Amino acid sequence: MDRLTKDDVHPKILQKLLEDTDITVEDALENEMILNMGPQHPATHGVLRLLLRLDGETVIGCVPDVGYLHRGYEKMAENMSYYEFIPHTDRLDYISPMANNVAWVLAVEKLAGIEVPVRAQYIRMMIAELARIASHLVAIGSFAMDVGALTVLLWTFREREKILDIWDILCGARFTNSYTRIGGVANDAQPEALAKAKWFVDQLDGNLAECERLLNTNRIFIERLDGIGVISKEDALSYGYTGPNLRASGVEFDLRRATPYLQYDKVDFKIPTFTEGDCLARYFVRADEVRESAKIIRQVLQLMPQGEIKANLPKSVLPQKVEVYSKMEELIHDFMIVNFGINPPVGEVYHAIEGSKGELGFYLVSKGEGHPWKCKIRSPSFIHIQSLPHLVKGRMISDIVAIIGSIDPVMGEADK
C-alpha cells in the first residue's frame, strides 16, 4: 500500500488535520469518543455504517450513513420496459424475493387495468406467504445469533433450505426467481411443489417450537432484550413504521386487512399485536406471524381452483412459448411486447403490499410508453433505519446490535 499523500485526502479533512495542532484535551473530564461502526461489520445486517458518539460504553448520539449499496434502480427503471424490470425487483429485499415480484406486477397491473385469473392469484398468495416465512426465519435466526444463541441460526437456515427446495421445483431457481409475470405467473404450480408445500407447513410448527424452547425461557435472551429499544405508538406512527415493527407497538394495522389485494379477504388469519414496543415484542410478533402464514398457506392449498394461470390479453401478456414458435399472430405479439413493452394508459398509480419487513410500495408514472416515466420504490427498511438514533440514545453498544437485529433492515431494499 502506498503512503497517503496530500492529494488523497479530501480538502475539508486536510484542513481539519492542519488546524488540530496539539493533542491535549481542554477539559479533564471530557471522555467522549466518536466510533465508526463501519460498513463492514458482522452485526449490521449488510452495509450500514453507524457513527456513534460514546461516553464510555453509553451511546449519546448516532448518525446512520446509508448508500453503500445504491445501485441506481430508479434510474434503470426509467430505461427498461415493465417486463425487464421484474428480475431487478428480486434483488431489492433479497431475503424474501418472491414478495417483491408480486408487489411489482400488482402495481403494473393496477396501472394497465389487467385482471388476473383466480388460480394465479392463489399461487401468488402462496409464494408471498412462503417468502414471508423465509424472511422471518432469517430474521429470527440472525437476531438470535447477534444476541449470542448461535444454534438457532443453523436450525432456521435448515428450515429455509426446505422453502428454497419448494421454489426450486416450482420455477427452477432457488433464490432470486422471477416467477411472476404481468398477467399471471410464469408456469403452473406442479402437484409435486404443492405436495411439498403442504408437507412443509405441517412439520414447521414442531421445528419452530424446538427453536423457541431454546429462546423463550432463556434468562440471558430475555434480559438482553426486555425493555430495550422501546418506541411508543405515536412515535412509531410518526416515524412511518409499518409491518411487524408497528404491530409490536400496539397498532393493529396490516395491509392485507386494511386494503385487501389478491384474495386475502377469503382466508382467515389473525394479526398478532403486542403493546410493549421493545425488542422482545418484535421477536414475538415475527414468531407468531410465521404460524399465521402457515395457516394461510394451508387454506390457500385447499381453496386453490383449477384454471388458467395467465390472463388472455394478447397485447399485454406474453403468450406461451409453444404458440410463439408455431403461430404467426403470437409471434408478432411476442415481438411487440418484448421490444416495445406494454403500453399502459397515461397516469400515475401507487400500490403497496404487506411485505415481510413492512409496507413495500411502488409508485409508477406512465406517459403511455413501454417503459415507466418514473418509478419510486417505497422501501420499509429505509424508513426504519431513520429511527435508529431515537432508539439507541442512552443505551450501550451491545444493545445497538440487538436493536438493529430486531428492526430487521435489509440494505438492498434500503439503498435501492
Partner 1 sequence: MELKELISQKLKDNFPQAELDFSEFRNEFNVKFNKKFVNPICKFLREDSELEFLLCEDVTAVDWAKRKNRFTVVYHIFSLKHNFRLVLKADVDESDCAIDTVSSVWKTSNWQERETYDMYGIKFNNHPDLRRIYMPEEFEYYPLRKEFPLLGIPGSLPLPKK
Partner 2 sequence: MGLEAKLRGDGFFVTKLDAVVAWARKNSVYPMPMGISCCAIEMMAAADPKYDIARFGSEVMRFTPRQCDLMIVAGTVTYKMSHVVKKIYDQMPDPKWVIAMGACTSSGGMYRSYSVVQGIDQFLPVDIYVGGCPPRPDNLLNALIQIQDKIGRTRARDFQNLKLPELNVIQNN
259 binds, among partner 1, partner 2, none (CB under 5 to 8 A by kind): partner 1
- Of the pair 106, 145, the CB lying nearest partner 2 is at 145
60 binds, among partner 1, partner 2, none (CB under 5 to 8 A by kind): none
11 binds partner 2 per the rule CB under 8 A: no
Positions in the binding site for partner 1 (CB under 8 A):
2, 10, 66-67, 70, 72, 74-76, 79, 110-111, 113, 235, 237-240, 242, 251, 253, 258-259, 347-350, 352, 359, 361, 363, 365, 373-374, 376, 378, 382-383, 386-387, 415-416
5 binds partner 2 per the rule CB under 8 A: no
Pick the closest to residue 144 from 202, 232, 210, 91 (CA basis).
210
- Of the pair 161, 323, the CB lying nearest partner 2 is at 161
Q: 82 is written with which cell numbers?
A: 415493465
198 binds partner 2 per the rule CB under 8 A: no
- Of the pair 94, 253, the CB lying nearest partner 1 is at 253
Cα 82 from Cα 334, distance rounded (Å): 14
207 binds partner 2 per the rule CB under 8 A: no
- Of the pair 21, 40, the CB lying nearest partner 2 is at 40
In whole angstroms, how close is the CB of 367 to partner 1 at the nearest point? 9
Q: HSE (CB half, 13 Å, CA atoms) of 283?
A: 27
In angstroms, the Cα distances linking 385 to 50, 235, 289 are: 10, 14, 22
Pick the closest to residue 306 from 102, 123, 101 (CA basis).
123
Candidate list 42, 191, 206, 394; residue touching partner 2; CB under 8 A: 42
In whole angstroms, how close is the CB of 61 to partner 1 at the nearest point? 12
Contacts to partner 2 from residues 144-183, by CB under 8 A: 154, 157-158, 161, 164, 174-176
- Of the pair 38, 240, the CB lying nearest partner 1 is at 240
Distance of CA 348 to the CA centre of its chain: 24
Place of cell 403494473: 108
Candidate list 32, 35, 87, 368; residue touching partner 2; CB under 8 A: 87
38 binds partner 2 per the rule CB under 8 A: yes
- Of the pair 213, 367, the CB lying nearest partner 1 is at 367
376 binds, among partner 2, partner 1, none (CB under 5 to 8 A by kind): partner 1
Q: Confirm if 317 and 114 have CB atoms less than 8 A apart.
A: yes
Among the listed ranges 91-99, 265-273, 289-297, 354-362, the one in contact with partner 2 (CB under 8 A) is 91-99
In whole angstroms, how close is the CB of 234 to partner 1 at the nearest point? 8
In whole angstroms, how close is the CB of 82 to partner 2 at the nearest point? 16
In whole angstroms, how close is the CB of 47 to partner 1 at the nearest point? 12
187 binds partner 2 per the rule CB under 8 A: no
37 binds, among partner 2, partner 1, none (CB under 5 to 8 A by kind): none
In whole angstroms, how close is the CB of 299 to partner 1 at the nearest point? 23
- Of the pair 144, 407, the CB lying nearest partner 1 is at 407
- Of the pair 77, 309, the CB lying nearest partner 2 is at 77
Residues forming contacts to partner 2 in the complex (CB under 8 A) are: 1, 38-42, 46-47, 67-72, 75-76, 87-88, 91, 94-95, 138, 154, 157-158, 161, 164, 174-176, 411-412
